[in-house]
Amino acid sequence: MENVLELKVVKEFIDACHQSWLKGWNERNGGNMSYRLKPEEAAALLPLLQPKSEWKSIGLSLPNIAGEYFIVTGSGKYYKNILREPENNLCIVKLDDKGENYQILWGLDNGGVPTSELPTHLLNHSIKKEKTNGRYRVIMHAHPANTVALTFLLPLEDKAFTHAIWEMITECPIVFPAGIGVVPWMVCGSTDIALATGEKIRQFDAVIWAHHGIFCCGEDLDSTFGLMDTIEKAAEIRIKVMSCGGAIHAITKEQIMALCGPFKVDIDGTMLDD
């Protein structure tokens, strides 16, 4: 391999960013994405990587992802440009052997730094790596309009959002059986919002930031993108139903729980309790 851009997962990452842009989830520089490289992917890239920055603090100590490599979007970089100029808008970073500092090893050729939400991304990676025995590798953050709109219309509570979104599409509880977490409005880009999100991400694969956007986590780019797509589609249906005067039918709790057996999922029925 002669170029980082030849690696399959790098191509997939760029494609996921562009699909997200096409969905309208990433106005201007809105949103950010990260992928924790597999050891064999990092090994394949290693000859093409070299230090491009000083070591910088991530503001957290994350020993279980120490020494790992991540593909990350750049801060302030426009999603619409990622497909055309990935080397100017993305970077690859490595964490030090304590999991406290990062260094840029590729990308951001025009200058720049990784996303301002790096603390939230890395803390989520750390927690999900532990909780899934290393399976989860992707964190996506974006600003999908209907999901954000619902944060002005529903109580900012996990159960209220889970119920309101689950019951809009029968497949929702199958796709995210734990439900959705909600973080109240906080200053973005901060360690505080990273810690608040980290608390929720232990339980959920999707966490909504009030009046801002959503974070989704998953095993690979397709499933994480699919999770965000499913939630945003259900939020859109919810908004349409609310705009038309509200629902006159609903899927009952019993109907939702009846999905567990046939689809072999452990839907958390307590999310439907008042």
| Extended beta strands in the chain, E state | 32-36, 56-57, 69-73, 90-95, 101-107, 138-142, 181-183, 206-209, 213-218
29 binds ligand 13P, rule: CB under 6 A: yes
Q: At what angle do helices 221-243 and 158-166 cross, to 10 degrees?
A: 90
Query: In the complex with Zn ion, which residue's Cβ is closer, 139 or 256?
Result: 139
DSSP labels for 65-89?
GTT-EEEEEBTT--GGGTTT-HHHH
User: 97 to 126, contacts with ligand 13P by CB under 6 A?
Assistant: 115-117
Give the residue nearest to Zn ion (CB): 213
Which string of x and - marks every residue 165-204 that binds ligand 13P (by CB under 6 A)? -----------------------x----------------
Count of CB atoms within 10 A of residue 266's CB?
8
Q: Which one among 74, 114, 179, 213 touches Zn ion, defined by CB under 5 A?
A: 213
Question: Is 30 one of the binding residues for ligand 13P (CB under 6 A)?
Answer: yes
Contact partner, 76, from ligand 13P, Zn ion, none, Cβ < 5-8 Å per class: ligand 13P
Summarize the chain as % helix, strand, coil (round to 5): 45, 15, 40
* Count of residues touching ligand 13P (by CB under 6 A): 11
Q: State the greatest distance between any 2 C-alpha atoms of the chain, in Å, as a whole number.
A: 61
In the complex with ligand 13P, the residue whose CB is nearer, 120 or 126, is: 120
> Could you give the residue numbers annotated as active site?
117
Residues near ligand 13P (CB under 6 A) are: 29-32, 73, 75-76, 115-117, 188
